[in-house]
Amino acid sequence: MSGDEPITREHLLAIYRQARAEFPKECCGYLLGRAPDAELVPCENRQDKLHALDPEAHPRTGENGYNIGGKQLLTLVRSFESERPASIIYHSHPKVGAYFSAEDTRAAIAAGYPVDYLVVDVQEDAIVEAKLFRQDGEGYVEIARFDGAAV
């Protein structure tokens, strides 16, 4: 790494391990601060709980959606007024590839957080790749790609 990478290989591997451990559900979390000194904050995906409470309002399950809530969301939001604001929010896409979906775009625009979004392609037997996306107008564009790993 050149020192100006948006995420360290160590953090990527930790995210990849989380994605494999939570497969076939989506994993999620964020990085507080900037690489190389960022703090990785793995989060609980609350999507299944929301779906169970109100499937009409929350039609997605943990297999095709993620939701960060509670204290983890509060820490994320409060970080934007701190000296170590979140820089990346991440989640995995089990079995479907690393792309920024229409639902990802809708949720990111609605949240309005000043972060990039990392999406991890997790398959049954490996992590294929991860892609980093940044807002560009009303959409998101890929700004970096990272090799996967057999974790």
What is the span of the domain harbouring residue 132?
9-149
Strand partners, 118: 90, 132
Give pLDDT, residue 119. Answer: 97
Asked, for residue 4, whether it belongs to a domain, the answer is: no
Above 70 in pLDDT, residue 3?
A: no
Q: Residue 110: which CATH number? A: 3.40.140.10
Asked, for residue 29, whether it belongs to a domain, the answer is: yes
Q: What confidence tens digit (pLDDT) does each residue in 16-58 have?
A: 999 999 999 999 999 999 999 999 999 999 999 999 999 999 9
Pick the closest to residue 129 from 150, 117, 145 (CA basis). 145
Asked, for residue 1, whether it belongs to a domain, the answer is: no
**Residue 112 DSSP code:** -
Residue 116 makes CB contacts below 8 A (sequence gap 6+) with 6, 87, 88, 89, 132, 133, 134, 143
Cα–Cα distance, 22 to 8 (Å, whole number): 21
Asked, for residue 3, whether it belongs to a domain, the answer is: no
Cα–Cα distance, 3 to 38 (Å, whole number): 13
Q: What confidence tens digit (pLDDT) does each residue in 57-77 have?
A: 999 999 999 999 999 999 999
Q: Confidence band (pLDDT; 50, 70, 90) for 1?
A: very low
